[in-house]
Each structure stands twice: as structure tokens, then as C-alpha cells.
Structure 1
């Protein structure tokens, strides 16, 4: 049996003693299917570089009162400002999302916030260990600049600490919560995904969504997920009731035969938005790194079509481009 280099613990309903898994879920496909996908000749052509659509944002130092502000950095990286806290989600400032610096998916648009323009960062949430979500060089840079609290699922702390040994990390299993400020709680919840940093560590560190519960509303953040028949959305609604904001992936979904289990498409994201009873949503995971076959802006187009078909106002579910800022209305 393979040895897990990241985590050792008791068997649970999503850990078999060596690997984590999605209960009742779909396993990621294997190497032969990867080759079939990569050789299919269906990959769309993206531009090598594009300008920031609205220019780089310069965030304020804090957002107080009823405010809730999301600033898109790019892909799944965002700055969430709420209750005086500055929270970074899956931050990546590197040019490539890859184990090597000379190959792999390359950024087509610069980060929507210059690192030097970041406000003081209090908390960093890392949902899982894929390179487009856990970027060691960025985490090291954040540690030295701000000494934030890093929160990440089981096993990912070992990956981070190997390169950033003094990082302040709290590790969580599904259902665990951390009180990060007065009235502000962060809870790890299931998502339907997987993990790997190399060829031999598949599913050896946990993946998760996060719920940020605050006095001004709840935020449901999903870094990556397959739709999984809406199981996790329904569970979140049953547990929390509703959300002021859902942060949902809408890209990296083609070809469907390969991606369906691990990456939802825009139509599924809209269904998830409805199931979790969110007032507003931010769409991410597009137009930054080309990871899959769909055209760069197809997720945005398909999202608009799905919202129209469902009778949902377009302004309730915003696909943010790098540098865009969304002040989320409060529902009274």
C-alpha cells in the first residue's frame, strides 16, 4: 500500500487510511484517459496575452459595517473584504500553475491586483493542493509580507510547511470550524474534487469548500467542484439556511466526459446557485490560465444563457474578470 506523505489519521467516511475520497462520488480518471483527452485535437486557441479589462484594482485597507467586497485577482484568486478582515482565496501571483517554472499553463492576463497594492492580509484560505490553487511561492511571499493565518484542509499544511516552515497554519477536516474574529467563523465543507502535486500522491491531501459566517451574512466559497447531483449544495443549505454570496467555479469543464466528475459547467453552477439559496454569486475559474478545452470566454457566455433560461437576473451572478470589484448588496 502507498504511504501518505502528508497525513496520517483514523479512517473516516472520506478517508480510507491512505487516500481521501468523495463519498458516493466519481474518481478522477486515469492516465490512459488523460492521454485520450490530450490527443483529441479539440483544445481551443486562447490569446497569449490580454490586457486587464478594467485595469488593476487598488483595494482599500478595510471594509467595515455591512460591506462585503470581492476583488478578482484572476482564476480562483480573490480578495474578500468583510467585517474589517482581508481574506485571500487560493492566491496565485505566479506566471505559471505548474510544478516547474518553464512549462505548464501560463497566465494570459496579469493579476487584477498588484501584490504591492494588497492591503494587510489577515487570512488566506487554500482549498486544495492543485497548482492553480496552492502556489507555494505566493504563499511564501504572503507569509513574509503579512504573517497571515493560513487555513487549509488536512495534509496541505505539510506541503506548505516544507517551503514556508514558520507559516501560521490551521488545518481542518470537513465540518471543522475556526473562530477568526468576533462573530466570524470559517468552516470547511465538502466539495467534489481531488488532489495531487505529482504522479504518486493522488488524493493524499484533502480538498474542501469554505463557509465564512459573519454578522453581515454568510459566504459559500468553492474553489473547485463537480456538481455531484447537487449533493453538497443541498447539504450546505440544510446546514446554513442561505447565503449572501456564493463564490462558484464556472470554467475548466471541457471535455465533459473527462471533466464532469471534478469540474461543474456554467449550467450546473447556476443550478448550484439556486440550490444553496444564495442572494448573489461570483463566477471564477476562467480567462486566466488555459487548463481545459473550452474557448476563453465561453464560460461567461454559457453562464448568461443559463441565467436567462432560469429566469435569474444577470446582475445576481457576476463572472468577475481580473481587476473587477463587486460590492455585494445586503439583503434586509
Structure 2
């Protein structure tokens, strides 16, 4: 793919994969949630009083234009990167043992206490409202869909296309019939295409019993939501604090760092954490991305705020959504960990299909 076409698809990611202005139809008049006004819901839209509103369309267009200027820093990704060979996940992991397997991008499989939990599952070829355009996989999923163990729980953090993939959720509902736990409003989006899905929607601060001594609490993150031009922030977004017999896990799907407020309050409410799972990719250019996407330096600061001894980085190396090179997050995280005296074994970036048993 030539550089001009590559730049188009990166710019398309800002609009399509991040819930942008190409999508039309029912989302333009969408009302996913009706509920009382609160400190983060005004009756129509959700908001984060500690966050920053998403960029206006004019800023997206500015990014698109600047990416085409001579001397820009848009990287060209390879179109197909082969996955390594790793041992498949076991059918179950019992008791207080914990195993995490990377699927690719933000999709993760957590196995503990006899439960198999998928987070933000995306097996589609594109993170897009379309099958013919938008960010396309550079790496296949690390586990073939038909090779998954029985899935009990699915957690979906928010409705951007690289996190909420209707095609994958339909496959999961048909084959595994899992409980699907998600923030307010996202259940409406799911049921519009998958009426039989067992979706449950919750607010920030809610704690959900998942069974076997495992629970999930929803906590604010510095992000936003949209599937099209008329539904910005009409569904909620969240991080998940998982309490398990083997310790607590903090998972962030997408978030900016800001001043670290949400992470410090998560530690106060739900810590101590045994493990943090944090986004480390899709962060350039910083003027556009920093309010809603962390870079590796931010992720290292987040780990300190959370007080977790170990972390896993995700949200990199599968879909090119932004300007940085495919290997830039790994190199930047290595440097950030070195500067903070964190061992590479304590903040790992698992490749698709790679598992880590703690």
C-alpha cells in the first residue's frame, strides 16, 4: 500500500474506528440510555467531570491535512505480520491461579477461579463500521475463534469499533452464550443487531457478581464514546476492577492519563491490585491523542498510581489507528520502564496468542 493510501486509512481511523463522522443511519438519532441526571450524565449525554471532551471534527480534519504535509511522521505499517507459536490456553484455570492471554489489540482472555473472561473481543478483519474500508488487521487474532475455550463472561469497555465488535459478539452469543457486562447504553447497541445477547449494562461505581468469587466493578476512565455522527457520548465507557480469589486486576480499555485522578481513586476504592492491564498504543500525534489515549510514559505513571507490582500492555500492533510505527510502543515502553526502574518482566507486552500465568 502506498503512503498516500496508508495516510487515508489512518485518517479514516480517526473517524470510523474512533466512532467518527462516516457512520450514518439510526445512530444519528440514537438514544441508547434513559436514566436520571447524575454527576456524569446530563439526561442525554455522558461526561467526565475530571476529563476532557473529545476533539471536534475540525481537529480531526486538521490531523488529516497535517498527515499529508511533507515531513510528517506518519509511519507505514506492514500489511501482514505472522504470529508466533504459543501454547493454547487451557480449558480452565482454577482457584487463585491467574492466566492472561493476548488475542490482539485490546482483546484479552483472562482465566481464573474456573471462569473464562474475554475483554473487548474483536475477531473481525477491520475495526470499522464497514467491511470494505477502515483499519485492517496487520496481525491475525492470536487464538482462532473456534479454538477458544468455553467463554463464560464478556466485558466490553466502550463502543468504539476496535472494542465493541458486533460481528464477534454475535458469534460469541451463538456459540458460547456468555454474560456480557458493559457500561450503560452499550447493551442497546448490542441488542439492535444481536437480540438474544445476554447483555447487562451498569454505571460507574456498580459492582457485578460474576460467580466463583469473582466480581467486576466499573470505574471512570478519561475517554468517550460514539458509533456515528449523532451519538457522541450517548453510551458510557469504563475501566474494570476485577476482584478474584487470587487478587484484584485493574483493566483499562482506553484512557488518557490527565493528572492520574481516576487511577489513584481506583487504587483507593478497589486496590491493592495484583495486576494492571493498560493501553500503551495508538497515541500519536500527542496534540490530538493525549487527552483520551495514553502513551507508554503515561502507562508507567498509571502503574505507579495504581500501585500494582505487574502490568500487561495492550492496544498496539494490530490495527493502525494513529501515526506511530508498529514497533514504537514496545520500544517506548522499554525506555519508560528503564527510566522508572521497572523490570521488563514486570511490565510485559504479550504478542497475539502469548499467555502469562501468574
User: Which category of TM-score, normalised to the shorter sequence, fits these structures?
Assistant: over 0.9
> Do the aligned residues in 2 keep the contact of 1:189 with 1:211 (CA within 8 Å)?
yes
> Do the aligned residues in 2 keep the contact of 1:153 with 1:207 (CA within 8 Å)?
yes
Counterpart among 111, 114, 117 of residue 141 in structure 2: 111
Alignment of 1:45-84 (within 5 A): 45-52=76-83, 54-55=84-85, 57-84=87-114
Does 2:32 correspond to 1:6?
yes
Q: Deviations for 1:106-136, whole angstroms, at most 9, x for unmatched residues?
A: 0001000001110000000000000000000
- Tell me the residue number matched to 2:327: 297
Q: Deviations for 1:61-118, whole angstroms, at most 9, x for unmatched residues?
A: 0001331111110000011001110000000000001001000000001000001110
- Tell me the residue number matched to 2:64: 38
TM-score, scaled relative to structure 2 = 0.89
- Tell me the residue number matched to 1:143: 173
Counterpart among 144, 166, 184 of residue 214 in structure 2: 184
* SS of equivalent to 2:116: strand
Alignment of 1:1-332 (within 5 A): 4-41=30-67, 42-52=73-83, 54-55=84-85, 57-328=87-358
Shift of 1:312: 1.0
Per mean C-alpha deviation after superposition, the further-off stretch among 41-50 and 279-288 is 41-50
Aligned length: 326
Q: Deviations for 1:135-162, whole angstroms, at most 9, x for unmatched residues?
A: 0000000001010000000000000001
Shift of 1:177: 1.1
1:123 and 1:93 mapped to 2: Cα distance? 16
Q: Deviations for 1:256-307, whole angstroms, at most 9, x for unmatched residues?
A: 0000110011001001011101121110000000000011111111111011
> Do the aligned residues in 1 keep the contact of 2:183 with 2:238 (CA within 8 Å)?
yes
> Do the aligned residues in 2 keep the contact of 1:154 with 1:206 (CA within 8 Å)?
yes
> Do the aligned residues in 2 keep the contact of 1:190 with 1:209 (CA within 8 Å)?
yes
2:85 and 2:232 mapped to 1: Cα distance? 38
> Do the aligned residues in 1 keep the contact of 2:106 with 2:120 (CA within 8 Å)?
yes
2:231 and 2:326 mapped to 1: Cα distance? 30
Q: Deviations for 1:189-226, whole angstroms, at most 9, x for unmatched residues?
A: 11110000001111110000001101110010100000
Shift of 1:32: 1.0
Runs of 5+ in structure 1 lacking a partner? none
Per mean C-alpha deviation after superposition, the further-off stretch among 266-275 and 57-66 is 57-66
Give the aligned CA root-mean-square deviation in angstroms: 1.1
TM-score, scaled relative to structure 1 = 0.96
Shift of 1:178: 1.0
> Do the aligned residues in 1 keep the contact of 2:96 with 2:244 (CA within 8 Å)?
no
> Do the aligned residues in 2 keep the contact of 1:3 with 1:18 (CA within 8 Å)?
no
Runs of 5+ in structure 2 lacking a partner? 1-27, 68-72
> Do the aligned residues in 1 keep the contact of 2:257 with 2:298 (CA within 8 Å)?
yes
Change (3 A) 1:206 1:157: same
2:202 and 2:58 mapped to 1: Cα distance? 33
